[in-house]
A and B are shown apart, each in its own frame.
Chain A
Amino acid sequence: MSEMVKLTIDGKEVEVPAGELIIKAAQDHGTYIPRFCWHPRMEPVGMCRMCLVEVETPRGRGLVTACTQRVADGVLVDTKSDMVKKAQEGVLEFLLINHPLDCPVCDRGGECPLQDQTLSHGPGESRFVEEKRHFEKPIPISDLVMLDRERCILCARCTRFCDEISGDPLIEFIDRGNYTQVNTFPDEPFASYFSGNTVQICPVGALTATPYRFRARPWDLEAVESTCTMCSVGCRVSVQASQNQVLRLLAVDSEPVSHGWLCDKGRFGYEYLRSPARLAAPLVRGEDGELHEASWGDALATAASGIKDVIDRHGPSAVAGLGGARSTNEEAYAFGKLLRSVIGTGSLDARIGDAIDPVLLATGESRALIGDLETAKTVLVWGPDLKEELPVLYLRVRRAASALGATLIVIHPRSTGLDREATHVVRYRPGEGAALLDRLGKGEGDLAAVRAALDEGPVVAIIGRGGLTEAPGLASAVAAFVAGLPGASILPVARRGNVHGAIDMGVAPGLLPGRVAADQAGRDTLGEAWGTPVPAPGRDADGIIEGLADGSVRALIMLGTDPAADHPHRARATTAITAAEFVVSLDLFVTDSNRGADVILPVEAFSEVEGTVTNIEGRVQKVNRVAPGTGQSRPAVEVLGDLASRLGGSLGGPADALAKEIAEVAPAYREITWDGLAWGEGRDGLVAAAPDGGLPIPEPGELTGPPVAGMALHLGRVLYDAGTMVTAGPSLEKVMATPAAHLHPDDASRLGVTEGIAVTVKSRSGEAVIPAIIDSSLAPGTVYVPFNFGLDIGADPGVEVVPVTGGEP
C-alpha cells in the first residue's frame, strides 16, 4: 500500500495516495474538474489549461493545473472559487476564438466535451470579433479517419496517443503559433492499427471515423456493454446501434485488459454484420444440386435426417464437428454437447489446425494474467507478432517495456511490431525453434544475456505459434522451459475470437467442459451430469480433415468456421469438405468452406446474442445483444438445440439456462454466472481457473521435422488479412493488406530478385505468384508469406522461390 496524504478539496478532507494528481484525486472523491488534454491513461502535459484550480499552500494561493500538480499533505484545493471560475471562462473563451462552432453538423455534437464544458463553465459569449483561422474542411488523414483542423483545440491527445501508447507517431503538430495544426507527413497517411482511439479521445469533433460519420446522433443510439470478439484479447466495448443496426463500437476502460483502447479491426470490424452478402434464410441443397432457400422447419429436418442417416449407416464416430472459436461459450458448449451427448462422437475441434495444443491453452500451470505485465521485470514474447494478431495485448506489452521499464525479449522469425521496444530481439529460421530453445536454456553465446534476463523475475512469457509452419508443440516446449524458471508465469495465446472459450467448453477431442481431461474419470463425471454416455476422444481438426478425405468421417457439422480460408493447408481442407457425404453449416455467410454444404443455417452473431466469451488469460466476460440478426437468422444455441431434439436428444435450453449448466458441470467455470459478470463499475469479468490446479503443461511431442528442402517458409498472420471479417465490411476492405514474398537480401541477389518483381512461391501443395519484398530481418534461406490471402501454397516447411521470367516491377 502506498503512502497516503490528506488534503482538502472544496472543503472536504480526503485521503489519497501520495503522488496522485489533483485531477485524479478529486475525481476519485466525486469532484469532476473540467479537462481537455488530460487523459487518465496518458502522461499529463498541461496544454489546455482547462483544469485550473486554486490551491492554498504554506507558500500562498494561486492557480495551478490540476492535471500536472501532484497532491501534497495539507493542501487546500478549491475547484469552484471565483478565481477558478474566471480562469475557466477565460480558457474557454480562448479555446473558442478559432473554433468554428459548427456543432449542428458536427458528429461530436451531443457528446462533445467542448460543447458540454462550454455550457457548464464557459462565459456564454466571446469578445473575439476578428477573423477565425481557416483550413480546408475535413481532410482524410487515412482510409478510416478524417481531420477537421478548424475544430481542433490542440490538446495533443491524439498525437500523444500515437507517440506514447501505440508507438506509431504518424500525426504531429505541424507549423506553429496561430497556424499550428495536427497533420500527417504529406504522403504518409495515418495508417495506424489503433487510429480509432484518437477519434474516441479527441475532446472535440476534429477527428471523425469514416465508418460512423453522419450515421447517427449520439442521443439516438442504444448502447450495451459487451466484449470485442474479433480476437481473443477480449477488449471491453460499448456496442451502439440505431434502428437495429450496429453503428459503432467505443472502448470502455477495463483495468485488467484493454486500458480503454481498441484496435481498428475490433472497432470498425462490425460492418460485416450488415453486409449484403449475409445469409437471411436457411439454404438447403435441392434435387438440382443447387442451394435453395428453405423454411427453418425443412432445413432442420433435412439436417437432422442427413446426420441420422450417416449415424445409422456408419455409426456416430463417422460424424464430426469443427468450429466454435467464433461463438460464445454457451454456443460452443451446446455444440460440444450436441456432438458428444446427442450424436455420440468424440471428434470435434474448435481450432482449425492452426493453433497450439489445446491442453496448453487450458493448462493451470504457472498461468499469468495480462495484468501481471504491470509488475513484470522481464517479458518474453515467443509466438505471433502481437501487433498483427492480438493488437491490444501488443499495447500492454509495449507499455510494460516503454513505460514500466520491463526487459522485453522478442523471439520470432522476423521483425515484429514490438522490436523497437525490445531489449533483446532473437530471430530464427522457422523449424529451428527447438534448437534455439535448447541453446537458450543453456544460455549459449549471444543468448547469455537473454538467459540472464529470464532469471530476473517476475517473468511473464507470452507463448503462441509464431507461424503456421512451426511445429505446434514448440509452444508447449517453450512453456515447459519458462514454467521451470523461478518467478515465471506463462500466457499461452491463440488468436481467433473465442477459441480459448471454445477449448474451455471442451470443443477439442481431449478436453471436456471446464478444462477437464477427457479421460475415463472425466467422461464418467460429465456423463452423469448429462445423463448420457460421453464418447472417448476422437479426432482433432487435422484428423477430421484426413478422415473426411479417406471416408472414415462422413458427416461434418461446422459452427461458424471457414477451414477453406483458415486451415494452413486450405486446399487439403477444401477437398476434404467437398468429399464429405453430408455437411451442415451454421454460419453468417456462404464461404468456400460451406459452398458445397447440404444445409446452411443462418445464425446470429456478435451483438445479436447474449452470452459469455473467454479471453487469452481465461477471463470470462459478457457479450450482449443490441440488434437482431439479418433476416431469419436465429441464435446458434437454439438452432443446435432444435437439431438435438430432432435427433432425439436435448441440450438444456436457451443460452441463460446453458450458462447455469456450465457453472455446474464445468469445474473451471464454477461460480461464474451471468449475474456475476454483469458489467459495472469495477466489474471486469471473472477469471476461470480449474479448482485442483488444473492440467499440466502438455508434452511437446515431435519438434524437429525432416530437414527442409529448399527455402524455409514462414507463414505469419497480418491484422488486415483477407478473412471474412475484413472483406465483408467496406471500411476494413479498404485497408486490407496485399500478400508478398519477403526474402533476405542474400537470397534475393542469389535468385536475381529485386524489390517488387513477381516471384513464384512453389510448394508441394501448389504455387502462387506474388511480388517480392526484400526483408533483411529474415534469416537467410527463409521466405515469409503472410497467411490467409487465398494463396495455395499450403504450409509445408520447405518451398522454392523463382523469379517470374520477365517479371517486371
Chain B
Amino acid sequence: MTWSPATSERADAIVARYPERRSAVMPLLYLAMREEGRLTDEGMKEVGDRTGITAAQVLAAASFYTMYKREVGRHLVSVCRSISCHLLGSEAVLDAVADETGVPDGETALDGSLSVESVECIGACGGAPAIQVDYEMVEGMTPDSARALVRWLLDESPEVIRSDDLQGRFGGSPSFDPGPVDPVGAIGPFPAFGPYGTAAT
C-alpha cells in the first residue's frame, strides 16, 4: 500500500521533527487510520517502514492504545463507565445503546454503520453520564436520550458531528465547561489531533 501524496508529505514532515525516526510512530498511526478509515496491516507496515521499526513493534504500540482502531464503524459511540458516570447510571445508558443498536460493548455493527465501546473517564464528570460520538462530547445522558441519539446516528448518518449540536439535540445539563469557543467538529471517528501535526490541511 502506498499513501496519498498529501499523507506522505505530512508523514515526512512529522518524521523529520524527531531526532529518532521511531519516535514518530504514534502520530503516523493516526495518519494511517485517517488514510484508510481504520488501522490495517498494510498501514502498520507502512508506519514501520517509515519509522525504521518492525511491523511487530508497530503493532505492539498500536494494540496498546485503545484509540488506534483496527476495526471501527462509520461512527464511534463511546460510553463513559468511570466513577462519576457509573454513579449516575452509565450502565443503563450503555445497555440502552447496545439494545437500540444491537451492537454489544466493544463491537461493530455488521453493516459497518457504528461501533460501541465503553471507555474510562472522558473528562466530563461534571456532566455525567457522558458519551462521545466520534470523540465529540455530549453530557447529561439518560437511557432514553442515548437511544434517541444512536437512532438518529443510524437513521440520518450525519456527515459532520459537532459537540454543541449533539448537546442541543440530545444532551441534558452539561458541566460548567463551555468547551472551545469555536468548535470545529469531527468529520469521522478520528480526532484531529492538531498537536501531533496530523490535522488534515
Contacts and interface: CB of A to CB of B under 8 A. Distances in A.
B61 to A, nearest CB: 9
Contacts of A187: 41
A173 B58 CA distance: 11
A174 B41 contact: no
Interface stretch (A117-125, A163-171, A528-536, A628-636): A163-171
B186 to A, nearest CB: 25
Interface stretch (B48-56, B77-85, B187-195): B48-56
A184 B44 CA distance: 13
Nearest to A172: B60
B59 A172 contact: yes
Contacts of B56: 169-172, 174, 183-185, 188
Interface in B77-100: none
A185 to B, nearest CB: 4
A185 B63 contact: no
B54 A175 contact: no
A127 interface: no
B64 A176 contact: yes
A169 B57 contact: yes
Contacts of B57: 169, 172
B54 A176 contact: no
Most buried by A among B45, B59, B60: B60
B63 to A, nearest CB: 5
A185 B44 contact: yes
Contacts of B58: 185
Contacts of B54: 168-170, 172, 185, 188
A186 interface: yes
Given A169-B56, A169-B57, A185-B54, A175 B64 contact: yes
A452 B63 CA distance: 45
Given A169-B53, A169-B54, A170-B54, A185 B59 contact: yes
Nearest to A420: B52
Contacts of A172: 54, 56-57, 59-60
Contacts of A176: 63-64
Nearest to B64: A176
Nearest to A185: B55
A425 to B, nearest CB: 15
Contacts of A184: 56
Contact of A175 (B45, B55, B63): B63
Interface in A183-206: 183-188
Interface in B23-68: 41, 44-45, 53-60, 63-64
Interface residues of B, number: 13
B196 to A, nearest CB: 21
B60 A186 contact: no
A172 B54 CA distance: 10
Contacts, number: 39
Contacts of B63: 174-176
Nearest to A174: B63
Interface residues of A, number: 15
Contacts of B60: 172-174
Nearest to B58: A185
Interface in A148-183: 168-176, 183
A175 B60 CA distance: 7
Contact of B41 (A169, A171, A183, A185): A185
B26 to A, nearest CB: 15
A188 B54 CA distance: 9
Contacts of A174: 56, 59-60, 63
Interface string B165-184: 00000000000000000000
Nearest to B66: A176
Interface in B105-149: none
A692 B58 CA distance: 56
Contacts of A170: 54, 56
A169 B60 CA distance: 11
Nearest to A168: B54
B25 to A, nearest CB: 12
A186 B57 CA distance: 12
A169 B45 CA distance: 14
A171 B64 CA distance: 15
A176 B63 CA distance: 7
A171 B59 CA distance: 10
Nearest to A184: B56
A403 B53 CA distance: 18
A294 to B, nearest CB: 55
A176 B55 CA distance: 17
Interface string A648-669: 0000000000000000000000
A154 B59 CA distance: 17
Contacts of A183: 56, 59
A186 B54 CA distance: 12
Contacts of B59: 172, 174, 183, 185
A184 B55 CA distance: 9
Contacts of B45: 185
B8 to A, nearest CB: 19
Given A168-B54, A171-B56, A172-B59, A186 B64 contact: no
B162 to A, nearest CB: 32
Contacts of A175: 63-64
A185 B53 CA distance: 12
Interface string A5-24: 00000000000000000000
A173 to B, nearest CB: 6
B55 A188 contact: yes
B118 to A, nearest CB: 14
A175 B63 CA distance: 5
A187 B44 CA distance: 12
B155 to A, nearest CB: 35
B32 to A, nearest CB: 14
B148 to A, nearest CB: 33
B144 to A, nearest CB: 33
A176 B60 CA distance: 9
Contacts of B55: 185, 188
Nearest to A179: B63
Most buried by B among A172, A187, A188: A172
Nearest to A186: B41
A185 B44 CA distance: 10
A140 B65 CA distance: 26
A216 to B, nearest CB: 31
B96 to A, nearest CB: 26
Contacts of A188: 54-56
A565 B172 CA distance: 81
A135 to B, nearest CB: 15
A293 to B, nearest CB: 52
Nearest to A180: B64
Nearest to A187: B41
A94 to B, nearest CB: 21
Contacts of B41: 185-187
25 contacts: A169-B53, A169-B54, A169-B56, A170-B54, A170-B56, A171-B56, A172-B54, A172-B57, A172-B59, A173-B64, A174-B56, A174-B60, A174-B63, A175-B63, A183-B56, A183-B59, A184-B56, A185-B44, A185-B55, A185-B58, A185-B59, A186-B41, A188-B54, A188-B55, A188-B56
Given A172-B56, A174-B60, A176-B63, 13 more contacts: A168-B54, A169-B54, A169-B57, A172-B54, A176-B64, A183-B59, A185-B44, A185-B45, A185-B56, A185-B59, A187-B41, A188-B55, A188-B56
The 4 closest A-B pairs by CB, nearest first: A172-B60, A185-B55, A172-B56, A185-B56
Interface of B: 41, 44-45, 53-60, 63-64
Interface of A: 168-176, 183-188
